[in-house]
Amino acid sequence: MWIEIAHFSTLIALMLAGLMLIAPWIGLRWQRMVWIRVARQAAFMICALLTLASAGLIASFLKHDFSVQYVAEHASLKLPVFYLATAMWGGHEGSLLLWAWMLSLFVAIAAWKHWNTHPVSMPWVLSINGGLLLGFLLLVVFLSSPFERLLSPPPDGRDLNPLLQDPGMVFHPPFLYMGYVGFAIPYAFAMAALITSQGDSEWILATRRWTLFSWAMLTIGIVFGAYWAYYELGWGGYWAWDPVENASFMPWLTGLAFLHSVMVQERRRMFKTWNLFLIITTFALSLLGTFLVRSGVLSSVHAFATDPGRGVYILMFMSALLLFSFGLLTAKSDQLRETPKLESPWSKEFSFLINNLFLVAGACTVLLGTLYPLAVETLSTAKVSVGAPYYNKVFIPIMLGMLALMGLGPLIPWQRASLAKLRQEFLPAGIIGLIGMLVAPLVGVTHPSGAIATGLILFVGATHLKDLLRNIKTRMSRESLSAPGAFLRLVTRNKRRYGGMLVHLGTLVMVAGFVGSGLFQEERDLFLAKGDSMRIGSWSLTLESMDKTARRNWQADEAVIRAERPGEATLMLRPQKRVYSEHSQPTTEAAIHSSWREDLYVVLGDGVKDGVWAFRIYRTPLVSWIWIGSGIMVVGVFWAMLQGRRLQRRAD
């Protein structure tokens, strides 16, 4: 019953999406405003209908309706309610519906918020989003439907993949999708600006919050995924350069490039075409991320062949989007032709361009590494792997260049800087960084990229601090304020700038986490029997006992390990090896003791013989800095989002 409601409302939404695509054209062609209002109402209706459809699918899960194929494949009677309610995005079909639902929600918000402020763009924004919704809903309804009934329903479902029965995995997809989907709005505004030939900065100002929001959501989604991989997969790491991860990382990089380069357009009215190119690319990569991950194309060519219909449709949809977007950009390039003038390479404008160069080169590297195995496999019979070692050697140097640029950010002026001025600005910070780089190997950071990163962290930190202190001093003397008062005034008056600085600070904290966890991780593989002890770092670990434990849909072997360290309270760690009732493959539940200095991470392996068990133990310094840094980053983005439009007016 619920599933039929969901199915029918999706069908109606599909038809309304078609209407939304066409109605604005009719309205503009025959000058009938009513048709544009029709498209707007369609946007609201689609949002309501897809909300109902998603609710219907979730209800089918909650009611254990195993006559629905999708429910039977991704849930079971024993599955806890929390995972039942969120199993909707546990598989390909449901997550495409989630995507479409989120898109409809964002489109409705855009149609509501920007209706009065952007009357010229609005018909096109509606039409383009109608096309996107139509494309997605066609896929949901005809090629990967979560609404299929089974003729003979099984008594119990096949259960959700145990790896997904975890809070991290529950929140990871919605945030990631919010990021992906969010870029659809700036994309549509950009296309509307191109179509109506008002390709100036209006669309950038209109969508500034959308891009910031989407980028923040993408960040949260990626970090949730990394955190989940860290504590659920039991391999002591958090990022494997897996094609799935890479797919979400690419739009993040190009989106970041966009966030920087739009500032040049706002301030100097330059690089319009480049910004359009970046937003199109970012959205296209978001789509690529959704499609390729969920259809399994990236993992193997063969998965593609198992469902040719879906694969071909996805390819066609992507090609249509790319042809339309870049075709339009080329067609309109004459009107966009501009004659940029830059006074000096020693300027903020030019530093943003180099920033873009590094970020786009980074994104291309990830794309190359991700698609290369696919290309080799298609073009020849050979198979190659491109794994983490490749990215560590190629991508990290590029990002170190990026980090160095970050240090220039706050201190380099717009337009032009004299060399003497630059020397005065950067010499102290440069010396601090250089000293850090030289001292680092002496205190154990012997790996070249570790030493360089350490120096750069200090350099960037110093330039940011210098900028902050100087601005506080100026305010103190100009407005006769106390230091904290001046600081508060500063960060609340210019939220965008200081939000950005906070993002930079978060990045530094994260980089420290990457250096610590990437270069100084210690591992031990050994066998322990009851009563045995081992040492790692300053910790001494003793296996106290081996227990058995069980919950509703799993049972587990559990080791009880006492961890001690001089001058600290004793800890009990309980790593598990779980077997879920509907699945044969056991999963590991690592026991993690996290602190700001280091994480102690214990994984229970196989039982070898009477009472002897294999253990893998990691000591990973600074890994929690990655989570903290990303938190700071997200707070920074939201702070920047609070900035109204006052700043841009003043800049004009």
Contact 621, 521 (CB under 8 A): yes
Nearest-angstrom CA–CA distance, 185 and 180 = 10
Query: Which range in 104-112, 404-412, 484-492, 527-535 contacts other proteins by CB under 8 A?
Result: 527-535
Among 470, 535, 597, 645, binds other proteins (CB under 8 A): 535
162 binds other proteins (CB under 8 A): no
Among 26, 143, 240, 315, binds other proteins (CB under 8 A): 240
Number of residues that bind other proteins (CB under 8 A): 61
387 binds other proteins (CB under 8 A): yes
Least distance from C-beta 364 to other proteins, angstroms?
6
Residue 107 CB: number of other CB atoms within 10 A?
A: 29
324 binds other proteins (CB under 8 A): no
Of 652, 589, 640, 648, nearest to 232 (Cα)? Answer: 589
269 binds other proteins (CB under 8 A): no
525 binds other proteins (CB under 8 A): yes
Task: Show the tokens assigned to 425.
Answer: 């600005």
Nearest-angstrom CA–CA distance, 22 and 24 = 6
Nearest-angstrom CA–CA distance, 103 and 46 = 10
Of 465, 357, 459, nearest to 406 (Cα)? Answer: 459
Least distance from C-beta 511 to other proteins, angstroms?
20
Nearest-angstrom CA–CA distance, 368 and 360 = 12
Least distance from C-beta 531 to other proteins, angstroms?
5
| Measured CA distances, 618 to 230, 536, 591 (Å) | 12, 8, 11
Among 41, 145, 196, 542, binds other proteins (CB under 8 A): 542
Please give the single-letter amino acid code of residue 613. W
Query: Which range in 9-17, 26-34, 80-88, 355-363 contacts other proteins by CB under 8 A?
Result: 355-363
Nearest-angstrom CA–CA distance, 460 and 466 = 10
Least distance from C-beta 345 to other proteins, angstroms?
5
| Measured CA distances, 172 to 175, 222, 394 (Å) | 6, 7, 27
Among 398, 400, 490, 561, binds other proteins (CB under 8 A): 398
Cβ-based nearer residue to other proteins, 157 or 173: 173
What length does the chain have? 652
395 binds other proteins (CB under 8 A): yes
Nearest-angstrom CA–CA distance, 31 and 591 = 66
Least distance from C-beta 300 to other proteins, angstroms?
8
Least distance from C-beta 246 to other proteins, angstroms?
9
Task: Show the tokens assigned to 67.
Answer: 């006559």
Cβ-based nearer residue to other proteins, 63 or 416: 416
261 binds other proteins (CB under 8 A): no
Nearest-angstrom CA–CA distance, 382 and 403 = 37
Beta bridge partner(s), residue 461: none
Cβ-based nearer residue to other proteins, 25 or 390: 390
Least distance from C-beta 629 to other proteins, angstroms?
24
Nearest-angstrom CA–CA distance, 429 and 411 = 11
428 binds other proteins (CB under 8 A): no
Cβ-based nearer residue to other proteins, 154 or 389: 389
Query: Which range in 28-36, 193-201, 422-430, 523-531 contacts other proteins by CB under 8 A?
Result: 523-531
588 binds other proteins (CB under 8 A): yes
DSSP 143: I
584 binds other proteins (CB under 8 A): no
Of 112, 125, 127, nearest to 25 (Cα)? Answer: 127
189 binds other proteins (CB under 8 A): no
Measured CA angle at 394 (ends 248, 455), to 5 deg: 100
State phi, psi for 555 to the nearest 5 degrees: -130, 155
228 binds other proteins (CB under 8 A): no
Residues forming contacts to other proteins in the complex (CB under 8 A) are 234-235, 237, 240-244, 299, 339-345, 350, 353-354, 357-358, 360-361, 364-365, 368-369, 372, 376, 382-390, 393-395, 398, 523-528, 530-535, 542, 544, 585-588, 606
